[in-house]
Amino acid sequence: MPDRMKPSRLLLRLEAEIAAAKTPLDADCKRAERAAYLARLGRFDEARGEVGALQERYGSFPNALMSSWLNLVSGVIGHCSNMDPSARDKMLRSYALSSAANLTDLRARSAAWLAHLDYLSVRTRSMVRHARESLRLAAQDDHSTRSRASLVLAQAYHLAGRLDLALPWYQRVHVHATAEGDDMTLSARMHNMTSLRAQELRIHSWLREESVQDPGYALLGAESTASFDLVVGSKSLQSLVPILRAQVHTARGEFASALTLYEKHLGQAILEGLGRLQSDLLADRAWCRLQCGQELDALEDARLAESLIDPTGQFDDRIMAHGRLAQVSAAIRDTAGADRHKGLALDALVGHRELQRQILELLGGEEL
């Protein structure tokens, strides 16, 4: 263990609870919960080994509680290892099983994770429904569930452009995750706040508008997240932070620094599940290459980025992909290409603003 890494309070507590469990089933449920946290730490082999052992143990003696846990944990492993789309199906099975068996705590936990995946796939109505249900059902001291659902709502308000409404939810995440000893949720809170700030910076930089966010603050957030992950020993989705750094460097006009990070980490980021952002990131790298005098490589990145844009994909991804490609096209005097990409970026911006409006309408300002 590196000198800077600290032991996980949550892992230590779960191990103590396993040792003190009154029944074998209670101990095994805690083992499943521990496996989920190991996956969130990026220790996937350990997590899968624990799940495999539990599946073998209960294969001949089905148990609704254990089946619910195993489906949820399998979903967490799939999501954390490479953002596997099938993770949602496993979490839905956990939700269905726990609902049918009246396992309220596990139903709340499953609903919180479903809200998390709903946020990532922009299922706004489902996100709000699952978040509300999770917070309604979760016990006040179920810090894990409450921190997960609160993080979803914080991100949703933040994405909608209302940091003022997001901050109280971010604070609840901090309170519950700290009480739980859940370093990975604290890390996710830091990363998501910084990522959404970086997104705003990048959109405003392309529109040549002044952002309310300080670019230096966004970069400091990325550096703080990296340092925190090092201390807590996180190995999950390790390319996320350097890619975030690269995006902030680009928004600040620090193209050489951004290009170095993209060249080192972009391939791994795609393997780890950031393929949804591939067109956006390649377009960003093309712009950096052009600014660094690598015109041929920039044009290759730009062509690949354009071929990978999903015309039905998320609005913010398309804003930045088309926006960067408009800049690249203008720089190489391709006026028609620049106008086309600018128009598509502005269309996506209109859709993004409408999505923000819809999120606010669904959430309102109520206490969920």
pLDDT of 116 reads 96
Q: Of 75, 68, 80, 76, whose CA–CA distance to 29 is shortest?
A: 68
CA atoms within 13 A on the CB side of 67: 15
CA 135 to chain centre: 20
Q: What pTM value is reported for the model?
A: 0.86
- Look at residue 212 and give its three-state secondary structure: coil
pLDDT of 140 reads 96
- Confirm if 279 and 308 have CB atoms less than 8 A apart: yes
Long-range contacts of 53-62 (CB under 8 A, 24+ apart): 54/28, 57/28, 58/28
DSSP 292: T
Q: Of 77, 102, 108, whose CA–CA distance to 90 is shortest?
A: 77
Amino acid (one-letter) located at 156? A
pLDDT of 226 reads 42
Q: Of 272, 267, 271, 306, whose CA–CA distance to 286 is shortest?
A: 306
Rounded to whole angstroms, the Cα distance separating 63 from 68 reads: 8
DSSP 211: -
- Confirm if 14 and 34 have CB atoms less than 8 A apart: yes
Q: What is the pLDDT along the chain (368 residues), one digit of tens a residue?
A: 444 456 688 999 999 999 999 999 999 999 999 999 999 988 999 999 999 999 999 988 889 999 999 999 999 999 988 788 899 999 999 999 999 999 999 999 999 999 999 999 999 999 999 999 999 999 999 999 999 999 999 999 999 989 899 999 999 999 999 999 998 999 889 888 888 877 777 777 666 544 444 544 444 444 444 443 443 444 445 677 788 888 888 888 899 999 999 999 998 877 765 667 889 999 999 999 999 999 999 999 999 999 999 998 889 889 989 999 999 999 999 999 999 999 999 999 999 999 999 999 999 855 54
pLDDT of 242 reads 86
pLDDT of 366 reads 52
